Structure 1
Amino acid sequence: MHRLHPLTKLAVVGFCLVLGLFLPGLWLTYAAFGLIILPLAAWAGILPPFLRAVLKAALPVIISVFLVQGLFWPGGTPILRLGPLSLKEEGLMFAIRSAGRFLMVVSSFLLLTFTTRPDGLMLALSERGFPKSIAYVLLATMQIIPRFQAKANTILDAQRSRGLETEGSLLVRVRALLPLIQPLLLGSIVDIEERAIALEVRAFGRSGPKTSLLVLHDTPAQKLVRWLLLLGMLAVIGWRLYIALAPRFAA
């Protein structure tokens, strides 16, 4: 998995995204997660850290979706009473469907992040004629969450070494956030400036051919797999459109 061409892994992630966004029903997205994403993560040897990252990124959003949509769905059929609130069947179904799609989207991007070198992906896109500025924006977007998490953990460890209490009641944890926010924001601004300087030092904005120490190896088999994945994306999208539009044409 790690040795595959970056465009091959990008095609795999694109196929998983299409599955997550266009598969109908409640459970097909969860089946795709279990039958595609998890085996790929296991093949890459990153399954434990990958699952931890997926849980950290997706679980808070999924819980909030279930609470908001399940308890505050307008109208609907109540299936469980919780005082003045009630859990609606329609809201629960919508939450299950939305959580599966969000899980597929997050896990697909994390799989690409865990298995692909950013410079390799950027080089692969540039070799195919993709604008370098857009390629860099895409890579920076992919890296923003891991970089923020790493920087936040570093700042939190530094604050703990100075005697800051970060564990305990909810009030103690909220207080610990305040000394974390300002260094995180200022450090992120400095990091952006340093990255911009590094790009200019490497002649990022210079036109013309460039050399690279990184050499990407592609094979005819991987090219075939990429075309098959692209056809698979189009087939899934066409199938979903057919399911959605067939009743209208029949009527």
Structure 2
Amino acid sequence: MTRPQAGPPDQVSGASPTSTRLNPLTGLVLAGSGAVACLAWASWGVWTVVFAAALVAAAKARILRRVIAAASLVVVPFALWALVIHGLFFPEGRTVLVAFGPARVTSEGLAYAGAIVLRTASLVVVMLAFSLWVRVPALRAALVRRGVPAQLGYVLASSLGLAATVAERLQRIREAQEARGLVVRSGPGGRLVAARLQVVPLVLQLVDEAGERAAALEARGHGLPGRRTSYVDEPDSPAQRTVRWALAAASAVLVASVVVPAVAGVLTGGAR
């Protein structure tokens, strides 16, 4: 029996040329290490390096425009919220730049708002860059080959593909509603009503799709024990395996260096 041909790798599932040379698990470990570094270290330098590295990787994978567009939907509203809450009403602020009524713009508040916005932007860009870059079939095959249960591997890989298409689905729902006569009124109230009308169909669509996928997996025997055979290629090399293990070990050490002292401090304080 001949092996089925799926066409050029860079045309499967919208994959970029980089995704045909890099193992999906290597990309997963790189993204996870960047997220761990952003969460563990409270450092502008670390956040900036991770943010810039994710943008460079997205540019090399030719998905930079999609990453920026999707990240803006999350980061811009969050940045406005942080500026209002911390930039204007930061209780620890001492250096007042501008004051009007109860609001005070302080340098400490702006610095704190900038820090949490940069950290959030770094996390969002890293995860979006990976989810838009990865070939879901290759990631699913890689997870199953390494002992992850077939159903769990399918759910994990498919959730990344789903995260990459949520913005596109919302766009299609909005276009369909506007074609049926939906008018988005100006102002926050009108946009809030329009957002509710778009989110409800999206959630119902996702729930219905999850049920269909679960039934299809069950019908194809994904719940049965035993080895699975996959025809999806998974590029790999000894160098990539070394990088994955090194980054995974470094991330574990980094998490331990933050968690262990915190737990020890809580236990010591409780003992006193």
* Shift of residue 47, structure 1, vs aligned partner: 1.4
Mapping for residues 1-251 of structure 1, pairs under 5 Å: 1-3=18-20, 4-34=22-52, 36-79=53-96, 80-166=98-184, 168-233=186-251
- In structure 2, distance between residues paired with 1:33 and 1:19: 11
* Shift of residue 134, structure 1, vs aligned partner: 3.9
- In structure 2, distance between residues paired with 1:143 and 1:72: 39
CA contact (8 A) 1:26 1:96 kept: no
Letter in 2 for 1:57: V
* Shift of residue 110, structure 1, vs aligned partner: 0.8
* Shift of residue 137, structure 1, vs aligned partner: 4.2
CA contact (8 A) 1:26 1:97 kept: yes
Letter in 2 for 1:103: A
TM-score (norm 1): 0.82
Which range is displaced more, 46-55 or 61-70? 61-70
Letter in 1 for 2:67: F
Alpha-carbon deviations, 1:124-177, whole Å to 9, x = none? 122112234443443354344434333322221111112222364444434433
- Aligned sequence identity (%): 30
* Shift of residue 206, structure 1, vs aligned partner: 1.5
Match of residue 4 from structure 2: none
Aligned-partner SS, 1:87: strand
* Shift of residue 231, structure 1, vs aligned partner: 4.6
CA contact (8 A) 1:18 1:237 kept: yes
Alpha-carbon deviations, 1:18-55, whole Å to 9, x = none? 22123343343123312x11211111111122222222
The alpha-carbon distance between structure 1 residues 164 and 242, as it changes in their structure 2 partners (threshold 3 A), is closer
- In structure 1, distance between residues paired with 2:130 and 2:89: 35
Gap regions ≥5 residues in structure 1: 245-251
CA contact (8 A) 1:9 1:112 kept: yes
TM-score (norm 2): 0.76
The alpha-carbon distance between structure 1 residues 120 and 85, as it changes in their structure 2 partners (threshold 3 A), is same
Letter in 2 for 1:68: I
Gap regions ≥5 residues in structure 2: 1-17, 263-272
RMSD, aligned CA: 2.8
